[in-house]
Amino acid sequence: DTGVSQDPRHKITKRGQNVTFRCDPISEHNRLYWYRQTLGQGPEFLTYFQNEAQLEKSRLLSDRFSAERPKGSFSTLEIQRTEQGDSAMYLCASSGDVYSNQPQHFGDGTRLSIL
Amino acid sequence: DAKTTQPTSMDCAEGRAANLPCNHSTISGNEYVYWYRQIHSQGPQYIIHGLKNNETNEMASLIITEDRKSSTLILPHATLRDTAVYYCIVRPYNFGNEKLTFGTGTRLTIIP
C-alpha cells in the first residue's frame, strides 16, 4: 500500500495527558497537511509542511499543539494537556509540487477520544 | 477562499447516474473546483478536479458551467459503495493557498 499511513488509528486517553500521532506521507510527496474533523463537520485545516518547513498554521492550532516533520518525510502531531474538546479525528494528507496542481491524498486518520 | 453551496442530502437508485450539484458563484479565475468523498470512518478520497473544462476519469465526470459559477459531479452508474459524503471545494492554484476548506458536503445515499 503506497497511500498515506497514520498511526495509531484510535487513541483513548484521560484528560490532561499528552498524545502524539504519526503520519507517513506518500513517498515522493514534499507537502504534508494536518486537518481535524469533529462529528458531523468537514475536515478543518490545522497546518502544513513543505519538506521540513512548517509554512502555515491555523488559529485552531493552539499552544498545546505542535507539529514537526524533522527530515521532510514522516510527521508527528503532539497535543499536550489534552482537553475534552480535543476529541476528534485527526487527518493527514500529502501532495506533490503545488505547481503541478496535484491533489491532496488523505490517510484514514487517528480518532482521539478524551475521557 | 470562495465558498460553495451543496444540498445537504440526496438519494439515488443503484445503477442510475448520481448528479451532485455545487454552487460556487464567487469563484475566482485562478480557483479550481475539487471533489472529494468520505465514506464512514475513512479519510476523504480525492475524486476529480477541474478549472473550466469538463473532466472525466475512471471514477466520475465533472461538468463546470461556462460562467464557472456552478458544477455537477456525475457518478455514471452508482453502486452501494458510492454511499458517502461528497465535498465540493474551490481552491486557488498558487503557492501559499494550499489548504482545502471543506463545508458540510452532500450526504449521498444509494438505494438498492
List, for residues B45-71, the tens digit of each pLDDT value.
999 999 998 999 999 999 999 999 999
What pLDDT score does B67 carry?
95
Of A41, A56, A103, the CB nearest to B34: A103
Per-residue burial over B44-67, b if 16 or more Cβ lie within 10 Å, else e, is bbbbbbbeeeebeeeebbbbbeee
% of chain A at pLDDT higher than 70? 97
The list of chain B residues with pLDDT below 50 reads none
The dihedrals phi and psi of B7, each to the nearest 5 degrees, come to -65, 150
Report chain B's terminal Cα–Cα distance, integer Å. 37
What pLDDT score does B92 carry?
81
What pLDDT score does A2 carry?
79
What pLDDT score does B95 carry?
66
**Which residues of chain A does B5 touch, with a Cβ-Cβ cutoff of 8 Å?**
none
What gap in Å lies between CA A3 and CA A14, rounded to an integer? Answer: 31
According to DSSP, the β-strands at A10-13 and A110-114 are: parallel
| DSSP collapsed to 3 states, B71-111 | EEEEECCCCHHHCEEEEEEEEECCCCCCCCCCCCCEEEEEE
What pLDDT score does B22 carry?
97
Using an 8 Å Cβ cutoff, are A57 and A33 in contact? no
Of B93, B103, B104, the CB nearest to A101: B93
Mutate to test the interface with A, among B30, B39, B98, B104 (most CBs of A within 10 A): B98
**CA dihedral defined by A40, A42, A43, A44, rounded to 10 degrees?**
-100
Of A40, A42, A105, the CB nearest to B46: A105
Which residue of chain B has the CA closest to A103? B46
What gap in Å lies between CA B98 and CA B70, rounded to an integer? Answer: 21
What gap in Å lies between CA B66 and CA A76, rounded to an integer? Answer: 43
Of B49, B85, B101, the CB nearest to A103: B49
What gap in Å lies between CA A85 and CA A62, rounded to an integer? Answer: 12
What pLDDT score does A72 carry?
86
Its sign, for the CA torsion A101, A102, A103, A106, is: negative
The list of chain A residues with pLDDT below 70 reads 1, 98-100
Closest CA to A9 of B85, B42, B40, B38: B42
| Nearest CA distance, A24 vs chain B (angstrom) | 14
**Contacts A–B by Cβ distance under 8 A:** 60
| Nearest CA distance, B90 vs chain A (angstrom) | 12
Degrees to nearest 5, angle at CA B5 with A88 and A33 = 40
